[in-house]
Structure 1
Amino acid sequence: MPSPLIWNTDPILFSIGPLAVRWYGFFFACAFICGMIWMQYLFRQEAKNADHLEPLLYRIMAGVIIGARLGHCLFYDPVFYLSNPLEILKVWEGGLASHGGIIGLFLALYIHSRKHPATPLPWLADHLMVAGCLGASLIRMGNFFNSELVGIPTTGSLGVIFTRVDLIPRHPVQLYESIAYAACSFFLFWAWKKGAGNIPWRLTSLSLIMAASARIFLETLKTQQTAFALPVHMGQLLSLPFLLCGLALFLYTRTYKVLPQPPSANHATRSKKKGNR
């Protein structure tokens, strides 16, 4: 049997004076950059106003970070944070919950869609989910480099010893989740190419079903994260409503008829150059 991987990577990527850039922050930033590149591509393809991209990015960043922070404080250790509310502001000390980030993301998209009706909420949510799942995959890589959210002990060949935690071989469940979310992103991209993006909420429903199902299953391999005892993992409890919402949305999308979409501005330009053959 192969020896387990010894993982003792420094969570700090590099330092400039008193400023330390962590691997987690690097992967978190990459997630936003991927989302921005993807949305820029979509805006060009569908000839939408590119001036709306910058406020969209700011709203998404604010929604995800605030939502993730509040989610961690209220879901995982509410007694401590409600007793010490100023601690909620110390984001730099760590503590972000993905479920809270997703809620914050949807609130940000809702606010943006209200201010810019040309990009309605279903369109924003559906198309952003393609990059969103990839972003979730990158963030889990950040958790791996941080040696956090580790798995339960294992005697299998996939065990990793996180020396910053202990000397016990554990499931690298962060990598399992990263692979699962990356697979979700590639599937959603394929579905978008096949026209699923023409059905409002279809891509959103698929992303919620797949990501929540993966999270519920993989939480069984993860150590308990809450400051209080639970019969199941908090991640499983929080994922269940997202799974049910995804299933309900998918059934709702079954009532839609796929309508032919007008060609994008780029496609129309190419057609003119070819003489509309």
Structure 2
Amino acid sequence: MNSSNHLTWGPSPEIFTIPEFYLPFSVSIFGLILTAILFYLGWQKIKPPKGEHMEEPWKGWALGAVAFIVGQIPFLFIGSPTLDTIGPLEPRWYGLLFASAFIFGYMITYRMFSIAGRSQEDMDRLLIYVLIATVIGARLGHVIFYDLDYYMRNIHLVPQVWTGGLASHGAAIGIIIAMYLYVKKTPGMTFFWLADRVVPAVAIGGMFIRIGNFMNSEILGKASDLPWAVIFEVSPHLTATERAIPRHPSMLYEALLCLVVLGVLWSIYKKYQNRPPEGSLFATFLVMLFTGRFLIEFTKLAHSDIEATWTLNMGQWLSIPLVAYGIWVLVKQVNWSKQGK
């Protein structure tokens, strides 16, 4: 293939670097996550009414200190990855884009919740459900669908999300389960109503995360001589010889797909004056995204040796039931002649 006319991609995954400095004691990373959850729950008890200022600000600082101590204690016995030093700080493009996925997703879902008259508390609680479900679902999806044999032999590595290995189909399943559990705890809300207001955020998230994959030169495509093919010259997933070969930028195909899906969902939402027929956005999302994902998988390298021996890869097999379910919802559940609530 002639590589001289193709884009060569190989930026550093780090945005910038700050030198390290040592902490006086080790801090559990999982403990920090627990601290944030405890602080949030405690804050709901002591926060002032809307529009009023806290008369005793020291309570907030005291709550933070107590939440930090309580959050760290369990992991003195369980064990977890720790922070012994801070730095060198090397913020990565993928991390920035992953965080942006949740920020922008929160913004659009909050807007849809507000228009429907749902409270800030409902929205904040949903964020916790979705955040936890995304991480757990994506990790278990990778473990079960892509590398089960390895993790059965190294089961202690399953919780180590920070080592890499997340699957978008697992995240989708996790979010669906989280929405079901959330609706069970939330009066006056149905699963399809909620799903219609979550999937635009998922589309935004998918777009940001796939751009992050591009920045990291991962989820690579097969060799291609198309004009827009890209040479990933620093990818750790390729040999030196393979890095010189132009490839499909499959992760950008998926980012573009997510953008198109978001546009269609928002058009349906506005067409029905912010009250789409229940299930319409959710089902449209499933059909469009996973049909597109099924097709894009043909441009990707195999994720494992097992996939290389199959006509369809794991991502395609997992997409089929999601597309089928989406079609069933569109045909059997959605009343296109009637606005939702």
TM above 0.5, yes or no, is yes
What SS does the aligned partner of 2:330 have? helix
1:38 aligns with 2:108: yes
Match of 1:200 among 264, 278, 289: 278
Q: Given the superposition, is the C-alpha separation of residues 67 and 227 from structure 1 closer, same or farther in structure 2, using an over 3 Å criterion?
A: farther
What per-residue deviation string (whole Å, max 9, x for no partner) do you get for residues 17-72 of structure 1? 13433222211111111111112212221221211221211110000110000001
User: Quick check: 1:77–1:227 contact (8 Å CA) kept in 2?
Assistant: no
**1:240-251 maps to which residues of 2 (within 5 A)?**
240-251=320-331
What SS does the aligned partner of 2:158 have? helix
What SS does the aligned partner of 1:155 have? coil
Q: Given the superposition, is the C-alpha separation of residues 184 and 171 from structure 1 closer, same or farther in structure 2, using an over 3 Å criterion?
A: same
Where does residue 135 of structure 1 map in the other structure?
A: 205
Greater mean deviation of Cα atoms: 67-76 or 31-40: 31-40
Where does residue 267 of structure 1 map in the other structure?
A: none
RMSD: 1.8
Larger Rg: 2
1:218 aligns with 2:296: yes
Q: Given the superposition, is the C-alpha separation of residues 107 and 173 from structure 1 closer, same or farther in structure 2, using an over 3 Å criterion?
A: same
1:171 aligns with 2:241: no
Q: Given the superposition, is the C-alpha separation of residues 260 and 147 from structure 1 closer, same or farther in structure 2, using an over 3 Å criterion?
A: closer
CA distance in 2, matches of 1:157, 1:11: 25
Q: Between Structure 1 and Structure 2, how many residues are aligned?
A: 261
Greater mean deviation of Cα atoms: 60-69 or 109-118: 109-118
Partner amino acid, structure 2, of 1:200? E
Q: Given the superposition, is the C-alpha separation of residues 204 and 111 from structure 1 closer, same or farther in structure 2, using an over 3 Å criterion?
A: same
CA distance in 2, matches of 1:214, 1:146: 22
Q: Please, which runs of 5 or more residues in structure 2 have no aligned partner?
A: 19-86, 236-242
**% identical equivalent positions:** 34
1:181 aligns with 2:183: no
What per-residue deviation string (whole Å, max 9, x for no partner) do you get for residues 167-196 of structure 1? 111011111111011100011000111118
* TM-score, normalising length: structure 2: 0.73
1:191 aligns with 2:193: no
Match of 1:230 among 307, 310, 313: 310
Where does residue 268 of structure 1 map in the other structure?
A: none
Q: Please, which runs of 5 or more residues in structure 1 have no aligned partner?
A: 262-277
User: Quick check: 1:199–1:253 contact (8 Å CA) kept in 2?
Assistant: no
Partner amino acid, structure 2, of 1:150? L
**Deviation of 1:259 (Å):** 4.5
Where does residue 13 of structure 2 map in the other structure?
A: 11
Partner amino acid, structure 2, of 1:122? F
CA distance in 2, matches of 1:254, 1:83: 45
Q: Given the superposition, is the C-alpha separation of residues 197 and 225 from structure 1 closer, same or farther in structure 2, using an over 3 Å criterion?
A: farther
What SS does the aligned partner of 1:14 have? coil
What per-residue deviation string (whole Å, max 9, x for no partner) do you get for residues 224-273 of structure 1? 01242323211111111111111111111345651475xxxxxxxxxxxx
CA distance in 1, matches of 2:290, 2:161: 25
Q: Given the superposition, is the C-alpha separation of residues 128 and 254 from structure 1 closer, same or farther in structure 2, using an over 3 Å criterion?
A: closer
CA distance in 1, matches of 2:146, 2:340: 46
Q: Given the superposition, is the C-alpha separation of residues 221 and 108 from structure 1 closer, same or farther in structure 2, using an over 3 Å criterion?
A: same
CA distance in 1, matches of 2:138, 2:167: 5
Where does residue 56 of structure 2 map in the other structure?
A: none
* TM-score, normalising length: structure 1: 0.89
